[in-house]
Amino acid sequence: MFFKELLMAGVFALEDYIAKHVITCLIPAFLLAGAMVTFISKEVILRYLGSEANKFKSFSLASLSSFLLAACSCTVIPVASGLYYVGASVGAAFIILWVAPAANILALIYTGAILGSKMVLARIVAAILMAFIVGFVMVLFFERTAKKPLLITEYKKGSIIPKNYLILIILILISLLAPNYLVRSGPYWYKVVVWAFFTLIMALYAFINIPKDKMKDWLRETWWFVKLIFPLLLIGVFVVGIIGKILPEMWIRSYLGGKSLSASFLATLIGAVSYFATMTEAPFVDTLMKLGMGKGPALALLLTGPGISLPNWLAVARVFGIKKALVYIPTIIILGTLVGWFFGNFIF
């Protein structure tokens, strides 16, 4: 009987998720992710991330560009390591390794839809602050001798993104944000109508102004994101529903409630070990907050949950070396704990 109740809790969570988030949130979010991968010039961005580049500028670019990269803590590793081995500094590479899963635009938008704008803003500020500290720590320990990466010297100057592609990305972003910002109350189908209107405008613009081969590339990249993330999202939401049924409310209130340093440390540790696919952390944290989790520990879990994981530890050690993993992982755990404590006590 109890097993059936657990299954039904997962099913109900899944039903609510599909009904309220797939059309107006996930579809435009995946289109946006595919467009960014297809239309934004990786080569031009990479030119400014090398070991010889100004650290403040390269770290800023690494942080901001990582917001556009929708990836979990494991799938981001090939991207970060690829950049590192073609010439990006160790600081910039590990900033991408951290920010892309911890605070990418898909996760931020979804966090806002579930947990509100204040939590999103806190997540952005905390992720950037942690990113710069991580970058400088890694440079302090491991900055290699400056060299001339062959790949970077061959790049030609050019814009990061052509105007017609930029307009398309803006239209996709509008179709993603408009339903939640224009429709604050009423039935869900109001949001669907708003989404459909702006999506139609976006589709017409794309049909007229985007070359057919680029359209195919865009849709292929979008489908890649769907295949990679959507099944994990469904599984994650189902598990979240079950966890919400199992976890005793008193346990959450006792160990993760409030704003103590120990609560933030425990939340950070849970996030650091667990694996969260992109966007699955938001409904999980929402469930725990309803059971009594404090906002500071919630922020710590929002960051470290998708940002690192046990598989991530092992892969980082394998790709970048054990020494770098032994510096990077404890740095994230310490920073996550301090950020959760600080925001819990002085911001929220």
pLDDT of residue 194: 93
pLDDT digits (tens, 9 = 90+) for 100-127: 889 988 788 888 888 988 999 999 999 9
pLDDT of 95 reads 95
What span, in angstroms and rounded, lies between the C-alpha atoms of 146 and 89?
9
Between 315 and 99, the higher pLDDT residue = 99
Q: Where are the domains of the chain?
A: 20-346
Band of residue 249 on the pLDDT scale cut at 50, 70, 90:
low
Mean per-residue pLDDT for 122-144?
A: 92
Higher-pLDDT residue of 85 and 42 is 85
Q: What is the mean pLDDT of residues 200-212?
A: 95
Q: Does the pLDDT of residue 225 top 80, yes or no?
A: no
- Please tell me the distance from the alpha carbon of residue 215 to that of residue 221, in angstroms, as a whole number: 10
